[in-house]
Amino acid sequence: MSEIKKSTVAVIDYGMGNLHSVAKALEHVADDNITVVVTSDPAVIDAADRVLLPGVGAIRDCVGEMYNAGLVPSIRKAMAEKPFLAICVGIQALMSHSEESKGVDCLNHFQGNALFFGEKHKDYDGSKLKVPHMGWNQVKQTIKHPLWANIPDNARFYFVHSFYVVPENKEEIAGTCDYGLNFCVALARDNVFAVQFHPEKSHKDGLQLYKNFIQWDGKP
């Protein structure tokens, strides 16, 4: 029998509020060999086996706090070498730039921008669509990926956001959604995966995505 190694998932805390739900959902699907730590310590992030970048609130504050807390080098290092998952505003933080708050430069891991739906967003038939895009929408899996394992195509996930990402390289798109337009809600490149929705609020399919993440070896 091979030796069972304990592995650590670091949830990055950059002072933007509630990470309780993310940590509880990871703990819910983790077995005894997985430790979930919520941390703002670069050393802990560097030592972790997997890293999750949550995102809450405004993008300017998010990216600003990542820099202020001295976490950006550890985030870049993690994205270069181990399984890495970004959620909600986290996916926007990985883009080049966001339109939010009069324009914010982001981490530029994925080339492309985060754009505003607009307060006058409309459906294909011209009827009004509410912004934020809030609630359960269907996610089309546009590639095969270990993080989609055991999740049906077009499963519904919980969203709450007013900005959406537009990557330059369409081959990086892992999932899409429809809300007056077809837009990217999941990005994948090598060991990095990012989603616009909240897996921790998306019931069994969301928990399955977290389960897939804590078992993922980082290979696409």
Partner 1 sequence: MGLAKRIIPCLDVDNGRVVKGVQFLDIRDAGDPVEVAKRYDEQGADEITFLDITASSDDRATTVHMVEAIASQVFIPLTVGGGIRTCEDIRRMLNAGADKVGINTAAVFNPEFVREAAERFGSQCIVVAIDAKKVSAEGEVDKWEIFTHGGRKPTGLDAVEWAKKMVEYGAGEILLTSMDRDGTKNGFDLGVTRAISEAVHVPVIASGGVGNLDHLVDGVIKGKADAVLAASIFHFGEYTVQEAKQRMTDAGIEMRL
The set of catalytic residues is: 88, 198, 200
Residue number with CB closer to partner 1 (70 or 135): 135
CA 69 to CA 40: how far, in whole Å? 7
Residue number with CB closer to partner 1 (159 or 191): 159
In the shown chain, the binding pattern of residues 126 to 155 toward partner 1, with x for contact by CB under 8 A and - for none, equals --xxxxxxxxxxx---------------x-
Report whether 114 contacts 193 (CB < 8 A): no
Phi and psi torsions of 209, nearest 5°: -65, -40
Q: 80 is written with which tokens?
A: 């270069």
One residue of 7, 96, 201, 218 binding partner 1 per CB under 8 A: 201
Name the nearest CA neighbour of 194 among 168, 155, 167: 167
The one-letter amino acid at 58? A
One residue of 200, 213, 214, 216 binding partner 1 per CB under 8 A: 200
- Count CB-CB contacts under 10 A for residue 102: 6
175 contributes a contact to partner 1 by CB under 8 A: no
Name the nearest CA neighbour of 78 among 51, 110, 97, 55: 51
CA 124 to CA 135: how far, in whole Å? 19
21 contributes a contact to partner 1 by CB under 8 A: yes
28 contributes a contact to partner 1 by CB under 8 A: yes
CA 33 to CA 215: how far, in whole Å? 11
One residue of 9, 10, 12, 25 binding partner 1 per CB under 8 A: 25
In the shown chain, the binding pattern of residues 46 to 75 toward partner 1, with x for contact by CB under 8 A and - for none, equals ----------xxx-----------------
179 contributes a contact to partner 1 by CB under 8 A: yes
Interface with partner 1 by CB under 8 A: which residues?
17-18, 20-21, 24-25, 28, 56-58, 119-121, 123, 128-138, 154, 156, 158-161, 178-179, 198, 200-203, 206-207
